[in-house]
Amino acid sequence: MSNTPRNHHFIPQHFLKAWQQSDSKIFRYRRLPSSGEMEIKSVAIKRTVSIQDLYCINFPDGGFEVESSHVTPSD
């Protein structure tokens, strides 16, 4: 069983810590598409600005080396 992280942040957690409250949370501002109103919510850094498997690449051969796919040309 692999212990590979799956919750990938597109803004690094260490960057967000500059704005954290004492309970390791930040304020998230979001415009609700249904009403157009602004939602302000206190959220955990670990569960915001992230998407599951954002940086995951599945190669047809089952490999996982990203560098090889960019450096070595395929024939």
Does pLDDT of 62 surpass 70?
no
Asked if residue 45 lies in contact with residue 25, where contact means CB atoms within 8 angstroms, the answer is yes
- Over residues 22-46, the pLDDT tens digits come to 888 999 899 999 999 999 999 988 7
Asked if residue 21 lies in contact with residue 44, where contact means CB atoms within 8 angstroms, the answer is no
Confidence band (pLDDT; 50, 70, 90) for 68? low
- Model confidence, pTM: 0.53
